[in-house]
Structure 1
Amino acid sequence: MTTTVSTAPVVAEKAPRARRRRRALTPGRRLPATRLLGPALLIVLWAAASAAGRLDPGAIPAPWTVLKTGVHLWTDGTLTTDILTSLERAAYGFAIGLTAGVVLALASGLSRTGEALIDGTVQLNRAIPPLGLIPLFILWLGIGETFKIAIIAIVVYIPIYLNTHAALSGIDHRFVELAEVQGLSRWAFIRQVVVSGALPGFFVGLRLGVTGSWLGLVVLEQINATSGLGYMMFQAQNYGQSDVILVGLAVYGIFGLVSDSAVRLIERRVLSWRRTLSN
């Protein structure tokens, strides 16, 4: 007489155990608005130190003082005008830098001739600090808006080019062999395989480019400007208004956080097919 042992309970026990092991190795489920916890904690510590008298009000005003100043600047229209001017400069520079970075990366990553002509020049440009080009660009383009937009475009296009080009160059050669087996044309291969494979690198460069546009704007708006957040902060420095300076820094920080979050959201939507630890 033979005895049949069912393996179903064993398999059923292994499945939950594997899921528990997987949860132990991964960061866990994404919590809502987690990126706001760090800034919120910083503000709480700042407020507590100000209330306890640990901070010099002349150097670092309390959060409620900065908020009151921001409301006053917004009400009288000063902050609104400066914000719109800064957004316009950043938008023009970012659009030009994004276009240049993508076009150059595609030309260099998809062609050996393009790589020979473009990559070395971009790497040389990368080694030169973009803000160090300000005196030369002022001589070439004047001291108006044009040179500011040009510098922002350079700050933006370099990380976009580098990360997109690296992603294009890192396409696994097995995908090329698979495309040959499937009989894909070069255009179909680029559209279905190469571009999709390069998107993760492109979004990394895009996030760095967005952040770089705001960093460049802080410096450029303090050079022969008559409006903008940087100009407002520069004027506040001359008059010792640290609360106005902190208002400008807070607005820059909010713009940076919001723009980075927007890029992350677009990235998750476009790359929804990926299964990563951050999903």
Structure 2
Amino acid sequence: MLGDMILRAFRLTVRVSAVVQSSCQCPALHSCRALHSSPVLWAGHNKWSKVKDIKIPKDAARARMIAKYTMMIRIAVREGGANPEFNVALAQLLEQCRNKNLPKATIEGAIKGAKSKQGAQYLYEASGPGGCMLLIEVLTDNNTRSHQEIKRIMVKHGGALCEGARRNFDRKGVVAASRDGISSEKALELAIEAGAEDVQETEDEEEKPILQFICDITSMKAVRSALESLGVHTLSAGLEFVSHTPSLLNHAQLETASTLLEALNDCPDVVRVWDNIHAQNSQGN
């Protein structure tokens, strides 16, 4: 048996030697091996590129969204208490959080910490590029700091804090619903049938298309029930500032205004921003 093992080891040594000799005589073999290893290296690079270009921005956007909802929950709890059965605003926020799959621990922490964490709510009025009007809701423990930061952002992007912007908005009930392939014409028909005043096409924080049915505050619950009975999948209902005097902006102004809105929403103290921005049509340019 020992002899057989020695014989097999000898044959294996001969084969390995032959392979080494042939590789030395064939330079092309080296290039083939180098080329074969290249895709492995690039696969890792491509994977990182996708993470950097897609996942990281999405994670950052989701983190900002969670932070905003945490602040809104804190505001709702301070204004109406921690029991959603007796706090309509909080109940609506909790529903939105569930639809957006916010962590349960985060929601509970926001409710419990609402009383302990210092801070006050403010509504800033501002004008932006092209004369558009903005309402900026802020929750802060240092209004002087927040005021200076909001003012700096506005000036940097061609805007300014001002008085009177509030007159361009009405407080309305807004029922958000999934778009689900509903055409603009069909959305308008549904709005009329449900008793809504208007319907707007927009996107949520994750850039998913949604419909917003605008109605009087007192009829918000009835409009939502009517939409559900018509087969519309509603996501949430709440009170919002809705503009009644639109500001028509050209393409360049829209780009500047978009940059301004992004900068405001990235500010840690900003909860929400409402605007009256509308794009000019081809005849208006």
- For the criterion TM > 0.5, the same-fold answer is no
More RCO (CA 8 Å, sep 6+): 1
Shorter-normalised TM range = under 0.3
The two structures have a TM-score, normalised by structure 2, of: 0.23
Decide which structure has the larger Cα Rg and report it: 2
The two structures have a TM-score, normalised by structure 1, of: 0.24
